Amino acid sequence: MRHRHPKWTAIAAAVTALTLTATACGADEPADSGGPVTLTMSAWSMKTTPEFAKLAEAFQAQNPDVKIEFKEYDAANYDTQLTADLAAGSAPDLYVLKNLKNFITYQAGEQLLDVSDVASGLGDGVNGLGNYKVDGVTYAVPYRQDSWYLYYNKDLFAAAGVTPPSEAWTWAEYEKAVADLAAGLKTAGSQAKAAYQHTWQSTVQGLALAQTPGADLDSGDYGYLAPYYERALKQQQAGAQVDYGTATTNTLQYQAQFGTQQAATMLMGSWYVATLIAQQKKGDAQPFQWGFAPAPQRDASSKDKPVTFGDPTGLGINAAIDEGKAAAAKKFLTFVAGEGGATALASIGITPATLTEPVTKAYFGVEGIPGDELSRFSFTTHDTRAENPVSPHTAALQNILQETHSAIMSGSTPVNEALAKAGERARNEVLESK
């Protein structure tokens, strides 16, 4: 996922005094009998990440006596800076859990309020909610749940004479399509690659962990990654996709690779839908026909509900919050994880944790979103499994596997040797030492 290894740059984060006001429309009763309540909430990159302000605006339209102010952090150093603020007692009342990688650190540090009462009122329709439960207690709620798709350029498929993907593509069918695309695009005189695989470990390891029966990050056995790496290396060596060395050396951006038609396919998270739409409107991406399909599957057995991966993005309450604000904070959590917050996010092209018919309608009502049947199926039907299973070992193990990813994709270490070394390190440095 994004910003996997934050490095410390500065403890102090700029505070954005962004108080959003809205006209009440069918407003609820004030959240606190003592009068207006102001809640502070963490955020990052607010100029390019509209979800925070959108949730606040939608909530305040129904709850005018609750104001949300944002404390903006550096996106690349978010967890490091937030951790420092929590230790110093200067963290906001509400804070976002970017992914699951560091959730257990906050929970074990007693820095999250018990919000089991909020969770129990949400029902079973909130994707990813169970990831925030430890020993029967829920410490956060998800408001968005990204899933990884296969994005494809319909125009390049047509130029290459290759049949577009279906909801039931297997990896074998994907590999054949990539080979056919490479040949067809070359014949058509196109410089585009058949695929683009970004440099993140997620692009290989996330799907392998989600789709392989019995795969377990905590096991210290990473042989299940081998076929996924062998496939990626084969496509790289064949020239069907940009090689890892070129991508890292030139700091290639996945948005530009797909958005400027340099690749016909790309595995990427659902957040890219909103990004591509915005870039095509601004002219930062070229105009072309595109869609998204389920990630390729191990076999046809999962065609009715394709298996993919993606961590939820959650919201928790600072355990040190003033007691007088707790009720308002829980009300906000109930909103963002429910249909109200989900509809607001869907209306700007973001995939929320709650998917209902009104939410789906709002999502596909966004101008520029592909409305074809395959894209709709991909959005509504999938089994999304966590990239970072909740465990006290996850962060350390993922760091080891990040180094393993670089070693394999750069060609410096053979696949099986690198995975064996990763397992040995996992057992000696993390699992057996705990």
Backbone angles phi, psi at 134, to 5 degrees: -130, 125
Read off the pLDDT of each residue in 59-74 and give the average, rounded to a whole number.
96
- Per-residue pLDDT at 402: 96
In DSSP notation, 240-304 reads: SB--HHHHHHTT--HHHHHHTTSEEEEEEETTHHHHHHHHHHHTSS----EEEEEPPBSSGGGTT
Give per-residue pLDDT as tens, 320-358.
Answer: 999 999 999 999 999 999 999 999 999 999 999 999 999
| Cβ-count burial 377-386 (b if 16+ within 10 Å, e if not) | bbbeebebbb
Bigger pLDDT: 379 vs 125: 379
Handedness of CA 362, 374, 311, 51 (dihedral sign): negative
* Bridge-based pairing state of the strands 263-269 and 312-317: unpaired
Q: Cα(94)–Cα(76) distance, rounded to whole angstroms? A: 19
Q: Cα(269)–Cα(255) distance, rounded to whole angstroms? A: 12
Tokens of 254: 């996945």
Q: Cα(310)–Cα(318) distance, rounded to whole angstroms? A: 25
Read off the pLDDT of each residue in 261-286 and give the average, rounded to a whole number.
94
| Rg, Å, the chain Cα set | 22
- Per-residue pLDDT at 48: 80
Report pTM.
0.84
Sketch out the chain's domains with CATH numbers: 15-146+310-355 (3.40.190.10), 148-307+389-431 (3.40.190.10)
Task: Please state, in angstroms and as integers, the Cα–Cα distance from residue 264 to each residue in 120, 245, 376, following that order.
Answer: 44, 20, 20
Task: Assess contact for 115 and 314: CB atoms under 8 A.
Answer: no
Which amino acid is present at 412? S
- Strands of the sheet containing 290-294, edge to edge, are 193-196, 263-269, 148-153, 290-294
* 210: Cα within 13 Å, side-chain hemisphere: 25
- Per-residue pLDDT at 238: 95
* Contacts of the segment 355-358: beta carbons below 8 A, 24+ positions apart: 355/125, 355/127, 355/379, 355/380, 356/125
Q: Is 433 left (phi over 0), alpha (psi -120 to 50) or beta?
A: alpha
- Per-residue pLDDT at 34: 56
For the chain, the average pLDDT equals 90
Read off the pLDDT of each residue in 377-392 and give the average, rounded to a whole number.
92
pLDDT band, residue 2 (cuts 50/70/90): very low
Helix ranges (DSSP H) in 96-170: 103-108, 116-120, 154-160
Q: Cα(196)–Cα(323) distance, rounded to whole angstroms? A: 50
Give per-residue pLDDT as tens, 218-253.
Answer: 999 999 999 999 999 999 999 999 999 999 999 999
Q: Cα(368)–Cα(278) distance, rounded to whole angstroms? A: 9
Tokens of 172: 């074998």
Contact partners, residue 30, CB within 8 Å, separation at least 6: 36, 37, 63, 65, 66
Measure the CA dihedral 257/261/267/273, to 10°: 100
